[in-house]
Chain A
Amino acid sequence: MREDELRRQIAELVADNADRATPPPIAAIRRRRRRRRARLASGAVLLIAAVAASLVAVQGPLRRQVTVVPVVTQPPRPTPDPRPRQWVYSKELRVEQGVRKPWTHEQWIRVDGRKFISSASNRRVARGSKVRRERMDWPSAQVARFPRCPSRPERIPPAVGLGRFFPNPAAVPTDPDGLLTAIYQLVEDPDCAPIPVGDTVQDRAFMLIEGMLEGVLPADVRAALYRALARIPGVTVVHGVTDAAGRRGVAFARAAAIEGRGSSGWLRLEIILDRSTYRYLGARHVVTRDYFLLNVPSGSKGTQFRKGQVPVSRAQLALAVVDAPCQRPGETTVCAAYLETTWVGG
């Protein structure tokens, strides 16, 4: 049968069937939803959760390759643009294998990226902090960071938005496909990529997006990143993942190298999101098969990793834009003492 003839016949068949279909009243559709919800209360909770999480898993085992289909973006919420002299505050909890206690890390980076606070006293004062100031040379820091990259970042990037990673953020598309293409380009050369490890472009892109999600981003960019993640080959959805703070969420997971080349063969990175709000919660690395890693700086000749172990787990406890250096969100006080570093020459 000729192709145009087949097209005509199938189209007619579809149209015929469509003619026979009368939409029931919309109220019936909504009632049906409620009825079905009650019915599904137990067994199919997972399926509903998958849909509710804006991710439809294609039928089949959840961990099959490319099972992630992000179908809905986050509702675009108006985000007030942070002003250049405000500060991005973040607080992270880390649990690391071989480190006895979980530890938290707070940091402040000025929105324009030119200053950061690296150590601070826990004591709070209303005003008059004791500030130790130091200056660091931007160009030489970049030489140290990208020793083999011919085009090191010349300008100090802002601490928020796409400009934190892209030299020309205005030229970066914010649709998922365009954004992913731009990310692939950014990490194409491992010597110049903002992510120093990862065996392939896809490895590095996955990890870079994880880093981007940790920061302050416009809602549409964040939504596009979620959809871009699902387009990276090998990304799957894992349900019921717990972050370092014990919060349960749903994760984008993919093989990803962290301990130098080749480690994507035995490690997986999970990007954990809140199940209902899709807020970024944290990330963790999981060992996917037994592996003996030689020469890690652990005092011995190597470390044995066992399948299922979690070498590093992080939880973002806070992310906010605040008005004053060393101020915590919702507080009017500031640190009694802190070290403030200013980049110069960039």
Chain B
Amino acid sequence: MRTDKDFEDFYQANYPRLVGQLTVVTGSLEDAEDAVQEAFARASTRWARLRAYDAPEAWVRRVALNLATSGLRRARHQLAILARLPTPTAEPQHPTDRLAIEAGLRRLPLRHRQVLVLHYGADLPVEQVAQQLRLPTGTVKSRLARARAALGAYLDDVQEEPRHARG
């Protein structure tokens, strides 16, 4: 059936990019995949309608963001316990500056990560970020500014640390 083929193409073309974006928001590849898979599952049952939509991937991203966010909220009370345990990780190594950026992003509040990823990672203009997150444009701009400032401050600290250590 043509519709099935359409959906499969849409799915194959967008899945990796969306997981890439959501991973930066959630800080975990598994969580991102979980949210994106569920969002595509939902999209599959209403594809006949979605395909007529201007940007079906925006719908999937929005649902995935919602799922990831509610998942994060549910998980937040568990974090206090888990934070004390070392997390086993089998993730590949990255260059040092990448690690610093990742660590910096993880320290940002979720609302800041969302705007950074949508604006810089998904390359959406501020207006579209606002539309996706259902926020006023001004709020997105101020969140972007705060997120940049916080990330910048963290990275400066990281770079300056050795100097302080010596001093």
| Real binding pair | yes
Selecting from A13-21, A107-115, A295-303, the interface stretch reads A13-21
Indicate if A171 sits at the interface (CB-CB under 8 A).
no
Indicate if B160 sits at the interface (CB-CB under 8 A).
no
Selecting from A30-38, A267-275, A284-292, A336-344, the interface stretch reads A30-38
Q: Which of A1-37 contact B (CB under 8 A)?
A: 1, 3, 6-7, 9-24, 26, 29-30, 32-33, 36
Report the count of interface residues on A (CB-CB < 8 A).
40
Q: Which of B83-127 contact A (CB under 8 A)?
A: 92, 94, 97-98, 101-102, 105, 116-117, 120-123
Q: B interface, by DSSP: helix, strand, loop or mixed?
A: helix
Indicate if A172 sits at the interface (CB-CB under 8 A).
no
Report the count of interface residues on B (CB-CB < 8 A).
54
Complex Cα–Cα for A32 and B40 (A): 10
A56 and B11 contacting across the interface, CB-CB below 8 Å? no
Complex Cα–Cα for A69 and B53 (A): 14
A71 and B17 contacting across the interface, CB-CB below 8 Å? no
B25 to chain A, nearest CB (A): 10
> Assuming A23-B12, A29-B41, A76-B52, is B66 touching A13 (CB within 8 A)?
no
Per-position contact with A for B26-56: 1 when CB-CB < 8 Å, else 0?
0001001100111011101110111011000
A10 and B121 contacting across the interface, CB-CB below 8 Å? yes
Indicate if B138 sits at the interface (CB-CB under 8 A).
no
Indicate if A75 sits at the interface (CB-CB under 8 A).
yes
Chain A residues engaging chain B, CB cutoff 8 angstroms:
1, 3, 6-7, 9-24, 26, 29-30, 32-33, 36, 51, 54, 56, 58-59, 66-67, 69, 71-76
Between A and B, 8 residue pairs with Cβ closer than 8 Å are A6-B120, A13-B121, A16-B94, A30-B44, A56-B62, A59-B69, A71-B53, A76-B52
